[in-house]
Structure 1
Amino acid sequence: MRISKSSVGYAEYLKGLKKEKIKILICQIVLLVGFIALWEVLANQGVINTFLFSKPSAIYKLFIQYVESGQLLTHVIVSVYETLLGLVIGTALGILIAVALWWSERLSRILDPFLVVLNALPKTALAPIIIVWVGAGIKGIVVTAVAISIVVTILSAYNYFINVDKEQVKMFQSFGASKLQILFKLILPANIGNLINLTKINIGMAWVGVIVGELLVSRYGLGYLIVYGSQVFKLDLVMMGVFILAICSWVMYEFVNIIEKIYRKKRR
């Protein structure tokens, strides 16, 4: 069986891509390890103030203490649960409203100035008001997360929907397709990739809402750990909370990435 030059070239191309990914991963690991090592050395040498910046070894010791006591798992579970609720509700509700705006041009014109104003408002500054209206606890924190992500979701998803190729829409209409058929056969399938990317953006926004809410009213969660650490001037706790927050955000982002890769493979 003869192997064509094109197939050999494609295989070499794939190998090149894998090598490049490995090189990038190695550089990222070296950069991270180098940063942590430099931080530790500077802290030990007294170049940076450990009271203000802490140091990796102290953060690690505190991390082990919280893991062994079971406190860290409780805080992480609470924050992740609130973030997932905010992410799912904010994204789903935002997409549904965007569909309604796409469905009715009159409705989109009516709501357009209000959405623009809402998008310009600093939602984090409104968090105390939202919590007073809705109530403290998980409910208020989740609503804060939803409030931060929903307007951006509506505006972005609506723009995705109206920018689908007009010729394709006209072709569907010429075959007598209803608006519902156009929505489910053309508009939504054409924007799956965009909606996945929008979900990635909303992960960060949902975390912002949750942390802000926890800073204000919660007795559990990563936001509570961070604010408590700052109140008692325990910067080890603050930095540990920030690092755990970064890891949780990265895990959620990578999970959505996996879903995106599976979707792209199926499309092929």
Structure 2
Amino acid sequence: MSKHIETNPSKERIQYLKARKRKKILISLTQIMLLIVFIAQWEICARLKIIDPFITSQPSRIVNTIIRLYNEGQLFQHIGVTCFETIVGFISGTLLGTAIAIILWWSEFLSKVLEPYLVILNSLPKIALGPIFIVWFGAGTTSIIVIALAISLIVSILEVLNGFLATDEEQIKLVKTFGAGRLQIFTKVVLPANLPVIISSLKINVGLSWVGVIVGEFLVSKSGLGYLIVYGGQVFQLDLVMASVIILCIAAGIMYKAVVLLQQLFIKSHI
């Protein structure tokens, strides 16, 4: 027999939701206005020679540079190269980091053995390993992906492992009383409880993957946004540098928003 559940919200609930929606809209509009004011002031100051447009560039020149790259057929080529390297490094770092964290949670002995090494590797400047990776994997896309992977991997392992270890002990004891084995404890308690932690590690890995890829492109690439930034700096084309940085910000923002959307879908599915 089906039960009828009252779904009509109260008047106070409706008012609360409307106020919350208005607040979100106000925040979004304020963010947009701040960006518009910043860009307008930047353009005006450059036109009035308050700042040197050769050094700081200006929005109109950046737009012209992006249009020129598009007309030359280079814009999406460079964006595609960087996005491909970032996505591969991002997915690899997250999956491999989560897999290693599962192994370390499964074996307390192995976790204790590797703990100091993980801490040392996490504190090591991964950028310093860039030339080594280039020698090992060659001056190409593989080296760039490995650099991105190296920067995000250890953070993923530590983040997810700490979440696994912090799982509610009472829940684990409860399933143990029903005779649950190690695999059942992990699949029924630990993993479901730490899905938010894994999604949080995705957010962290977005930024780390972009950092790793851009650093790799600084060192070895012949295409990509990092290459454009280095090339523009070498030939003093600051318009090209600023255009590349802005495209980079937009691409990173889109990738981060995709992770946030994934998080929201996950939350809705568990309500």
- TM bucket (normalised to shorter chain) is over 0.9
Provide the C-alpha distance between the structure 1 equivalents of 2:20 and 2:249, rounded to a whole number of angstroms: 28
C-alpha displacement of 1:219: 0.7
Provide the C-alpha distance between the structure 1 equivalents of 2:133 and 2:267, rounded to a whole number of angstroms: 39
Verify: 1:26 aligned to 2:37, yes or no: no
Verify: 1:80 aligned to 2:65, yes or no: no
| Structure 1 unaligned residues grouped into runs of 5+ | none
Is the Cα contact below 8 Å between 1:211 and 1:222 reproduced in 2?
A: yes
C-alpha displacement of 1:50: 1.3
Q: Which residue in the other structure is 1:70 paired with?
A: 73
C-alpha displacement of 1:125: 2.2
* Cα distance per residue 1:135-170 (max 9 Å; x no partner): 111100000000000001111110000001000011
Q: Which residue in the other structure is 1:180 paired with?
A: 183
Verify: 1:11 aligned to 2:14, yes or no: yes
C-alpha displacement of 1:51: 1.6
Runs of 4+ residues deviating >2 angstroms: 3-6
| Equivalent residues in 2 for 1:35-54, closer than 5 Å | 35-54=38-57
Q: Which residue in the other structure is 2:64 paired with?
A: 61
Amino acid at match of 1:235: L
Is the Cα contact below 8 Å between 1:131 and 1:144 reproduced in 2?
A: no
C-alpha displacement of 1:69: 2.2
* Cα distance per residue 1:25-66 (max 9 Å; x no partner): 000000001001111111111111112111110000111111
TM-score normalised per structure 1: 0.97
Number of corresponding residues: 266
Is the Cα contact below 8 Å between 1:140 and 1:213 reproduced in 2?
A: yes
* Cα distance per residue 1:224-258 (max 9 Å; x no partner): 01000000000000000000000000000111111
| Structure 2 unaligned residues grouped into runs of 5+ | 1-5
Provide the C-alpha distance between the structure 1 equivalents of 2:217 and 2:202, rounded to a whole number of angstroms: 22
> Higher mean Cα deviation, 186-195 or 229-238?
186-195
Provide the C-alpha distance between the structure 2 equivalents of 1:89 and 1:6, rounded to a whole number of angstroms: 44
Provide the C-alpha distance between the structure 2 equivalents of 1:81 and 1:72, rounded to a whole number of angstroms: 14
Verify: 1:230 aligned to 2:233, yes or no: yes
Q: Which residue in the other structure is 1:168 paired with?
A: 171
Amino acid at match of 1:227: V
Verify: 1:194 aligned to 2:197, yes or no: yes
Is the Cα contact below 8 Å between 2:159 and 2:197 reproduced in 1?
A: no
TM-score normalised per structure 2: 0.96
Query: Secondary structure at the residue paired with 1:233?
Result: coil
Q: Which residue in the other structure is 2:97 paired with?
A: 94
Classify 1:174/1:31 alpha carbon distance in 2 versus 1 (closer, same or farther; 3 Å). same
Classify 1:59/1:169 alpha carbon distance in 2 versus 1 (closer, same or farther; 3 Å). same
Q: Which residue in the other structure is 2:115 paired with?
A: 112
* Alpha-carbon RMSD: 1.3
> Higher mean Cα deviation, 61-70 or 84-93?
61-70
Q: Which residue in the other structure is 2:146 paired with?
A: 143
Is the Cα contact below 8 Å between 1:39 and 1:55 reproduced in 2?
A: yes
C-alpha displacement of 1:5: 9.7
> Higher mean Cα deviation, 104-113 or 48-57?
48-57
Q: Which residue in the other structure is 2:3 paired with?
A: none
